[in-house]
Structure 1
């Protein structure tokens, strides 16, 4: 590409209010795949301690099998901690019987949520994600450690970067049947929330480092900022 035009890197391309805060009204993308339950999510999170909540979402498209859904459900239920789980309306039938009621004292299950607001909330300690690129970029930019359960396409590559390149998360490994079991999910969450071992400390430190680098890139004088200015100058 550089033979034909000067290639310029810009981003992260998430609303300004979450990074450099130079555009006061730039608070969201201006669209949602589904209607988020903003009030319920943010009110619930506000009553939880810092870094205590596991946020779980598999995006707008990925669909888990019933067995994998059950393993995640049991992990969140059996673990001693809070969780916020986005389960799309089309996926709700895969939850164990009476699950939402039985876990209401520790968890909130919603059909959609304002993800940027959730990830930027201080009570969220880690993000159990399918590693879609939007979700990955948002969590990286907001300094949230990730538990990676990739499903398809670019998600495995993103998970590789999360664990081995950026070192801001852990990839939960499936068994011989391709299912990530309850015990594995619980162990990974405990590591990320620094409840066991020291791996979580390094991951949290790296997460903050990448958050700062993301802000620096888009802030005034940053690499992305300069590239946008140069691009506009060429146009005019």
Structure 2
């Protein structure tokens, strides 16, 4: 299929700052959503154009400082939180429900990061030394192949937490965890009944109400038009910059 801008097979997600940078720095290991995904592999992280206020940055840094202190680690926070740009990537290894994460024998520090019905488990993070300015789209969206090639030139491993960094494979999964199916309707997920509305997030097993939301999905950059291409829904504002598959 001919295309004005060929899309790669790699996907991207738009997040508000400071959540976006905390994820690519490996400080934030779980990205929460109220919807699941079957996608696995490299996931590019785009920071929306919304600038974070100083209070939100301070609250999030204080929270993750306490989280990693539980394991004796001192995270090195980003010096800046760039906006309106592609800033790095992570490896999305799995997507589980909040209940599945809680049933897993994970360190208490990891469970503190649970704040949404679905948990996107991330590792092997990379930051970009030169972010690429661009706009984002809702949910997961295909990154243009040319953008992927450009971005790979600037990838760098961030400071590691611990001597070997974080790996989900370091924790043995219970057998019944592999047999559980994702709920068909995330709106009826038991997470809401157990922890309350996702607009008032509580942190994992400790149920300690946080003054902020743990996850920063980019919901303010909604497109003006959506285009249906084959079986895939791709978003764009004008026909001149359609993203299609070859």
**Superposition TM-score tier, normalisation by shorter sequence:** under 0.3
TM-score, with structure 1 as normaliser: 0.26
Structure with the larger RCO, 1 or 2 (CA within 8 Å, 6+ apart): 2
Higher helix proportion (structure 1 or 2): 1
- Structure number with larger C-alpha Rg: 1
TM-score, with structure 2 as normaliser: 0.25
